């Protein structure tokens, strides 16, 4: 029995991270059709775009899927209206206070998961009556917490403090890592980077190839004064790095960041000027695979490592 599979009515306790410019209906439906939970990333979508993606996702799968809603983006209320209108049953909220919308969403029959990066915010989720917590470690890609707590330290810490299901995120791109997450006490995992470079991801091929060619220390958590973000180092990042060396103010950093950097990098494939958000597992990913292949790899790796583990005796 797995609490998360029951809560979400899914076959595998694997959630695909809702990622801006990567996870539209194509990726989300492919994940759901494989037995995981696909998420449409609303953060990069205007309301009408979100509606279109939800409609297409419903046509492409009869399995549960959800929407990821970063609470710091504009249009939140419109997004929520569309989610309810279209009958989406699962919402993952992030980057904001879980008290804001959880009760309203639940009143409308929606299961609510919230992303946190510390025990402190996990406790706020419980107070807000969130259904499950996605606990995201320092190694995760994209926008992240400021506290730098790694998955290895975060999951056991939260596990000791809350009773609702915990989904581990950050550093997970293999069946072995899924097994490690369960060892730490998680009920499931959220996987981002691996799906960001899948065939079904909307990311530009340039971005996917840059990720699959990256090396072990090519990502960094930066811009901690604005919104901390883990990204691949490139020309844009080196501008940020130089600004830090010159003691730039937050205002100056904001100016360098500008607007639409993530779209430029991830969706348009501008490897020089774009913001290339990805997790520290970036260098573990060597091929651009279909979601079918990814699931098949994850599950066989999980089972064979579990078999190895069963033979270790203390």
Binding interface with its own copies (CB under 8 A): 2, 12, 118-120, 137-139, 147-153, 156-157, 170-172, 174, 176-177, 179-185, 216-217, 220-221, 247, 280-281, 283-284, 299, 302-303, 305-306, 309-310, 312, 314
Dist CA 254 CA 46 (whole Å): 23
The nearer residue to its own copies, 1 or 74, going by C-beta atoms, is 1
Minimum CB separation of residue 280 from its own copies in Å reads: 5
Minimum CB separation of residue 43 from its own copies in Å reads: 24
The nearer residue to its own copies, 54 or 186, going by C-beta atoms, is 186
- Phi and psi (nearest 5°) for 30? -65, -40
Minimum CB separation of residue 154 from its own copies in Å reads: 8
Dist CA 207 CA 288 (whole Å): 11
Handedness of CA 73, 290, 183, 63 (dihedral sign): positive
- Phi and psi (nearest 5°) for 180? -65, -40
Burial 205-217 (b: 16+ CB within 10 A, else e): ebbbebbbebeee
Minimum CB separation of residue 10 from its own copies in Å reads: 12
The nearer residue to its own copies, 89 or 176, going by C-beta atoms, is 176
Minimum CB separation of residue 3 from its own copies in Å reads: 11
- Phi and psi (nearest 5°) for 65? -140, 170
Instruction: Judge contact between 153 and 128, C-beta under 8 A.
Output: no
The nearer residue to its own copies, 251 or 314, going by C-beta atoms, is 314
Structure tokens at 38: 């696909």
The nearer residue to its own copies, 102 or 193, going by C-beta atoms, is 193
| Residue entry with tokens 């490592």 | 305
Minimum CB separation of residue 263 from its own copies in Å reads: 27
Minimum CB separation of residue 227 from its own copies in Å reads: 17
The nearer residue to its own copies, 136 or 270, going by C-beta atoms, is 136
Nearest of 64, 35, 69 to residue 50 by alpha carbon:
69
Handedness of CA 283, 284, 286, 288 (dihedral sign): negative
Strand 132-136 vs strand 142-143: parallel, antiparallel, or unpaired?
A: unpaired
- Phi and psi (nearest 5°) for 9? 60, 50
The nearer residue to its own copies, 150 or 206, going by C-beta atoms, is 150
Dist CA 242 CA 38 (whole Å): 38
């Amino acid at each position: 029995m797995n609490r998360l599979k029951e809560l979400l009515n899914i076959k595998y306790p694997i959630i695909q991270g809702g990622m801006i410019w990567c996870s539209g209906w194509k990726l989300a439906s492919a994940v759901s059709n494989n037995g995981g939970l696909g998420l449409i990333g609303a953060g990069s979508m205007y309301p009408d775009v979100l509606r279109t993606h939800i409609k297409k996702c419903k046509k492409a799968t009869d399995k549960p899927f959800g929407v990821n809603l970063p609470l710091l983006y504009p249009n939140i209320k419109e997004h929520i209206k569309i989610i309810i209108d279209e009958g989406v049953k699962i919402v993952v909220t992030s980057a904001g206070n879980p008290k804001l919308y959880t009760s309203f969403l639940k009143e409308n029959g929606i299961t609510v998961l919230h992303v946190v990066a510390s025990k402190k915010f996990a406790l706020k989720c419980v107070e807000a009556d969130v259904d499950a917590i996605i606990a995201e470690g320092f190694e995760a890609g994209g926008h992240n917490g400021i506290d730098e707590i790694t998955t290895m330290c975060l999951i056991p810490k939260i596990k000791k403090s809350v009773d609702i299901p915990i989904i581990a995120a950050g550093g997970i791109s293999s069946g072995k890592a899924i097994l490690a997450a369960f060892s730490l006490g998680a009920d499931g995992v959220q996987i981002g980077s691996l799906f960001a470079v899948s065939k079904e991801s909307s990311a530009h091929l340039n971005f996917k190839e840059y990720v699959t060619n990256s090396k072990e220390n090519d990502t960094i958590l930066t811009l901690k004064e604005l919104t901390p973000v883990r990204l691949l180092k490139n020309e844009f990042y080196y501008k940020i790095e130089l600004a830090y060396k010159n003691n730039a103010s937050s205002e100056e950093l904001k100016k360098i960041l500008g607007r639409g950097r993530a779209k430029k990098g991830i969706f348009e494939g501008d490897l020089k000027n774009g913001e290339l958000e990805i997790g520290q597992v970036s260098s573990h990913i060597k091929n651009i695979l279909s979601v079918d292949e990814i699931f098949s790899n994850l599950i066989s790796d999980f089972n064979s490592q579990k078999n190895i583990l069963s033979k270790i005796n203390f």
